[in-house]
Amino acid sequence: MKLGIVGLPNVGKSTLFNAITNAGAESANYPFCTIDPNVGIVTVPDSRLDWLSDFYKPKKTTPAVVEFVDIAGLVKGASRGEGLGNKFLANIRECAAIVHVVRCFDDDNVIHVEGSTDPIRDMDIIDLELIMADVEMADRRIDKARKAAKADKKFNHEAEVFEGLRDWLNDGKSARSYLAEVDEEDGALIATSELLSLKPVIYAANLDEDGFADPSSVAYYDQVSQRAAAEGAQVIPVCAKLEAEIAELPAGEKAMFLEDLGIAESGLDRLIRASYTLLGLISFLTSGEDECRAWTITKGTRAPQAAGKIHTDFERGFIRAEVVSFADLEANGTMAAVKEKGLLRSEGKEYVVQDGDIILFRFNV
């Protein structure tokens, strides 16, 4: 899973990226500090995997991972190549979803590229640049379909679908919102294009420490929340500066620090949880004395395809999946107790894997 962290210059993107990945991306008080996308691989916190690791004492424990890409700051005109626009847009195309960092605090010591703090204006700038880039993409699809229609008239419908989308985009509305206006077949056709405003979005509202303690009292945060709700998007309150401090602590002290602040989970945990929900992802687990591991799959994945995540031979030669839910193993303490109660199930090719399933795949090739 690759998530692109985007936002206007100096809204806290690189600070947040540094905090959650410890990758040390350069962060400074001027635009375009991040020239090339910085990439950080972070592990997905999973208490179930921790429990299995304590239980089996394996030689190796392998968590699922998320790839965060810190993308260069955007300015007005990016869709026309202004600033680092072309690089910015190309980098976003490679990501599964967008984490849009929005500044929700005033600080005279931190320059804002637009001269003042205004979350809605900032969100509009980025949204509009993505939409304008998508207009060009739609135009290219229309031209291609019209040419193809000279040989096969079925392509006329494709051209009509993208003409409708282009008109929608020209009204300043995202490709995401257009999907509600078309049927499933046309929506699938639109999804074959690399539209930037089609990508799902999480808004990370970057607050100062006082605001983070009580986000609901911050007018800027309320504005972002209302905008996100109107779009059906998620908004997560973060304090990039605070997250940076947490990231520097030894692992054993992080939990105590969060508890002292009255925070249940870090910004990283919230982002990953929101990302999994946004992209419809779940994790299944494999366990044993050699390795305990978490695997990320799309919700609704059947057992053979889940097996294929481990190795293509597992899918090709799939026989059955021996499954126990993590909750049942934890509640009963041992695999022997689980088997005694009949909670270890044998599932076939049609079984849909559930979040937290512990699976042993049987296969023959």
**What are the pLDDT digits (tens) for 114-158?**
678 899 999 998 888 889 889 999 999 999 999 999 999 999 999
Count of residues in the chain: 365
**Predicted TM-score (pTM) of this structure:** 0.80
Higher pLDDT pick, 247 / 321:
321
Burial of 156 (0-12, 13-18, 19+ CB in 10 A): middle
pLDDT for residue 84:
46
Distances in Å between the Cα of 103 and the Cα atoms of 91, 112, 229, 234, 240 are: 22, 9, 18, 16, 10
Confidence at 329, pLDDT banded by 50, 70, 90: very high
Higher pLDDT pick, 61 / 76:
61
Give the model confidence (pLDDT) of 100-114 as tens digits: 999 999 888 776 766
Contact 40, 2 (CB under 8 A): no
Give the model confidence (pLDDT) of 201-252 as tens digits: 999 999 998 898 889 999 999 999 999 998 888 899 999 888 888 888 887 7
Give the model confidence (pLDDT) of 353-363 as tens digits: 999 999 999 99
Cα 153 from chain centroid (whole Å): 39
C-alpha–C-alpha distance, residues 312 and 285, integer Å: 17
Q: Which residue has the tokens 């195309």?
A: 93
Closest CA to 105 of 246, 18, 11: 11
Predicted confidence (pLDDT) at residue 161 exceeds the cutoff of 60: yes
pLDDT for residue 73:
56
Predicted confidence (pLDDT) at residue 99 exceeds the cutoff of 70: yes
